[in-house]
């Protein structure tokens, strides 16, 4: 199933300390609405079945996003909006946004919450938005961004106490969070496979990874191209047929790192995006892995 993260605008109304989008240049880039409509028509023709509106804060442009959501519904495309909930200051305001989005066909709301968001947006907004989703029959979940430190226990308790549906998401150490201290991680030796949904930026550049991968600027490993020069179909095919991307999807970052010579003891000390960056944002390592993609790496399967 083809899915994509759609960056309508990089603009945000707050400045979270951990924001991965913070080194987007410039930070107020925005598509024109007619252009976004054309791109969505092209995405529908390319059989994209899910669009997640993301980047900065999409609901700064509530009416434009609503129009794009409605268009997606006409094409039968599943839609999600990722938001910081700045708009849900009261239950009445939350209802205004949720009713408008729901009536125009939004499939799901994904709310971002963390101790860093909380410094800019009161956590009551998350409760107002979630309660409005329940009341108006809109599916939602909360993306609880955490560095897994004890400091986040209070945030997690708050979500549980209010009976909200949430999923912890590791903070990505890129953008403003690039300089954060890393907590040691205690986890299993796991595969770290990535589904790798593409991300379309407002500049019309498309990337094969919608998370930290768009920040690998030494190699531009995940940059697929720009819609000024290529069609949506061409860029998606590029993503789906690239051997190294497919190894990331099926073999996982951990096995690739082991193949590349990293010790198991070392591998478990990295978060997956950091390990990915070490390998694929290093021109020499990338050149080696590209050479091996069809030979040694291809046979490095269990």
* Euclidean distance between CA atoms 105 and 74, whole angstroms: 9
Closest CB to ligand SF4 among 127 and 212? 212
Structure tokens at 108: 């799901």
- Cβ atoms of 68 and 8 closer than 8 Å: yes
Site for ligand SF4 in 80-119 (CB under 6 A): 84, 112, 117
Site string for ligand SF4, 17-36 (x = CB under 6 A): --x-x---------------
Q: Could you give the angle at which helices 62-75 and 91-103 cross, rounded to 10 degrees?
A: 30
CB of 222 to ligand SF4, least distance (A): 7
Contacting residue, 5, 6, 40, 56, with ligand SF4 by CB under 6 A: 56
CB of 229 to ligand SF4, least distance (A): 23
Contacting residue, 31, 196, 206, 257, with ligand SF4 by CB under 6 A: 196
Residue 133 in contact with ligand SF4, rule: CB under 6 A:
no
Q: Torsion-angle region of residue 55: left (phi > 0), alpha (psi -120 to 50) or beta?
A: left
CB of 42 to ligand SF4, least distance (A): 24
| Dihedral pair phi/psi, residue 200, rounded to 5° | -105, 120
* Euclidean distance between CA atoms 5 and 207, whole angstroms: 10
- Cβ atoms of 46 and 4 closer than 8 Å: no
284 CB-contact burial (10 Å; exposed 0-12 / middle 13-18 / buried 19+): exposed
Contacting residue, 24, 31, 248, 251, with ligand SF4 by CB under 6 A: 248
CB-based contacts of 271, cutoff 8 Å, min separation 6? 170, 173, 182, 185
- Could you tell me which stretch among 41-49, 129-137, 204-212, 287-295 binds ligand SF4 (CB under 6 A)? 204-212
Contacting residue, 68, 81, 273, 289, with ligand SF4 by CB under 6 A: 273
Residue 211 in contact with ligand SF4, rule: CB under 6 A:
yes
Rounded to the nearest 10°, the torsion over CA 169, 171, 172, 178 is 180
Contacting residue, 57, 64, 205, 292, with ligand SF4 by CB under 6 A: 57
CB of 73 to ligand SF4, least distance (A): 25
Binding site for ligand SF4 (CB under 6 A): 12, 14-16, 19, 21, 56-57, 84, 112, 117, 194, 196, 209, 211-213, 248, 253, 272-273, 276
């Amino acid at each position: 199933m083809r899915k994509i993260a759609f960056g309508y605008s990089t603009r945000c109304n707050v400045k979270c300390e951990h924001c991965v989008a913070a080194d987007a240049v410039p930070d107020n880039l925005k598509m024109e609405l007619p252009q976004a409509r054309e791109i969505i028509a092209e995405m529908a023709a390319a059989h994209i079945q899910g669009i997640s509106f993301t980047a900065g804060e999409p609901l700064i442009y509530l009416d434009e996003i609503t129009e794009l959501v409605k268009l997606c519904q006409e094409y039968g495309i599943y839609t999600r909006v990722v938001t910081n909930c700045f708009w849900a200051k009261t239950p009445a305001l939350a209802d205004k946004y949720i009713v408008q989005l729901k009536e125009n066909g939004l499939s799901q709301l994904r709310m971002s919450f963390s101790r860093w968001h909380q410094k800019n947006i009161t956590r009551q907004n998350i409760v107002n938005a979630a309660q409005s989703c329940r009341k108006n029959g809109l599916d939602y979940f909360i993306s609880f961004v955490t560095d897994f430190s004890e400091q986040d226990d209070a945030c997690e308790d708050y979500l549980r106490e209010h009976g909200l549906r949430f999923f912890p998401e590791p903070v990505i150490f890129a953008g403003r969070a690039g300089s954060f201290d890393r907590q040691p991680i205690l986890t299993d030796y796991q595969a770290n496979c990535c589904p790798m949904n593409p991300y379309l930026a407002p500049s019309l550049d498309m990337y094969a990874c919608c998370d930290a991968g768009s920040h690998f600027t030494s190699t531009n490993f995940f940059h697929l191209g720009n819609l000024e020069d290529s069609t949506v179909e061409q860029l998606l095919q590029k993503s789906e047929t690239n051997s190294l991307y497919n190894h990331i999807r099926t073999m996982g970052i951990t096995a690739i790192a082991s193949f590349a010579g990293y010790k198991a003891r070392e591998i478990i000390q990295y978060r997956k995006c950091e390990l990915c960056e070490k390998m694929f944002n290093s021109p020499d390592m990338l050149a080696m892995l590209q050479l091996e993609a069809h030979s040694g790496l291809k046979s490095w399967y269990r």
